[in-house]
Amino acid sequence: MLALAKTLGSERAGLGAALGRVLAEDVRARDDAPAFDASTMDGYAVRAAEVGNDPMPVVGESRAGGSAPALASKGACRIFTGAPMPAGADAVVMQEEAEREGDRVRFRTRPAPGAFVRRRGDDLRAGEVALENGTRIGASEIAMLASLDCASALVARAPRVAIVPTGDELRAPGASGSSSSIPESNSPAIAAMASRAGATVDRRAPVNDDLGRVREAFESALAASDVLVTIGGVSVGEHDVVKDALEACGVTLDSWRVAIKPGKPLAVGKRNETIVIGLPGNPVSAMITFALFGVPLLRAMQGDSAPLPRARRGTLAAPLARKAGRLELARARLDEGGRVHLLPNQASGAIVGLCRADVLACIPADCERLEAGAEIDVFDREELGL
pLDDT tens for each residue of 233-283 = 776 555 578 888 999 999 998 877 889 998 888 899 999 999 999 999 899
Q: For residue 275, give the 3-state DSSP assignment.
A: strand
pTM value is 0.84
**With the CA atoms of 304, 308, 309 and 315 taken in that order, what torsion angle do they form, in degrees rounded to the nearest 10?**
-150
- Which residue from 367, 378, 385, 369 is spatially nearest to 331, judged by alpha carbons? 378
Phi, psi torsion values for 103, nearest 5 degrees: -100, 20
Q: What is the pLDDT of residues 25-43, one digit of tens each?
A: 999 999 999 999 999 999 9
Angle at 78 between CA 113 and CA 33, to 5 degrees: 60
Whole-number Å distance between alpha carbons of 85 and 36: 8
For 183-208, write each residue's pLDDT tens digit.
888 999 999 999 999 999 999 999 99
Q: What is the pLDDT of residues 84-99, one digit of tens each?
A: 999 999 999 999 999 9
* Chain center to CA of 257: 28
Residue 380, pLDDT > 70, answer yes
CA-nearest of 284, 166, 149 to 218 is 166
DSSP 213-256: HHHHHHHHHHTT-SEEEEES--SSSTT--HHHHHHHTTPEEEEE
Phi, psi of 124, deg, nearest 5: -145, 145
Report pLDDT for 95: 94
Q: Which residues contact 151 (CB under 8 A, 6 or more apart)?
A: 14, 15
pLDDT band for position 47 (cuts 50, 70, 90)? very high
For 75-85, write each residue's pLDDT tens digit: 999 999 999 99
Q: In whole angstroms, what is the distance from residue 210 CA to residue 244 CA? A: 11
| Chain centroid, CA 288 distance in Å | 17
317-333 residue pLDDT tens: 999 888 888 999 999 99
pLDDT at 345 over 90: no
| Cα atoms in the 13 Å half-sphere on the side-chain side of 94 | 8
CB neighbours of residue 203 within 10 Å: 18
In the chain, the domains with their CATH numbers are 2-27+132-156 (3.90.105), 38-118 (2.170.190.11), 160-300 (3.40.980.10), 312-384 (2.40.340.10)
Please tell me the distance from the alpha carbon of residue 228 to that of residue 15, in angstroms, as a whole number: 29
Q: What is the pLDDT of residue 238?
A: 56
> For residue 148, is pLDDT > 60?
yes
pLDDT value at position 235? Answer: 65
* Distance between start and end Cα atoms, the chain: 19
Position 118 scores a pLDDT of 96
- Contacts made by residues 358-361, CB under 8 angstroms, sequence distance 24+: 358/332, 358/333, 358/334, 359/314, 359/332, 359/333, 359/334, 360/288, 360/329, 360/330, 360/331, 360/332, 360/384, 361/314, 361/316, 361/329, 361/330, 361/331, 361/332
Percentage of residues of the chain with pLDDT beyond 70: 99
Q: Look over the chain and give the mean of its residue pLDDT values, rounded to a whole number.
A: 92
Residue 386: name the closest of 365, 364, 356, 344 by CA. 356
Report the alpha-carbon distance of residue 279 to residue 294 in Å, rounded. 10
Predicted confidence at residue 291, as pLDDT, reads 95
How sure is the predictor about 346, in pLDDT bands with cuts at 50, 70 and 90?
A: confident
Does residue 335 surpass a pLDDT of 70?
A: yes
Q: Are 231 and 217 in contact (CB under 8 A)?
A: no
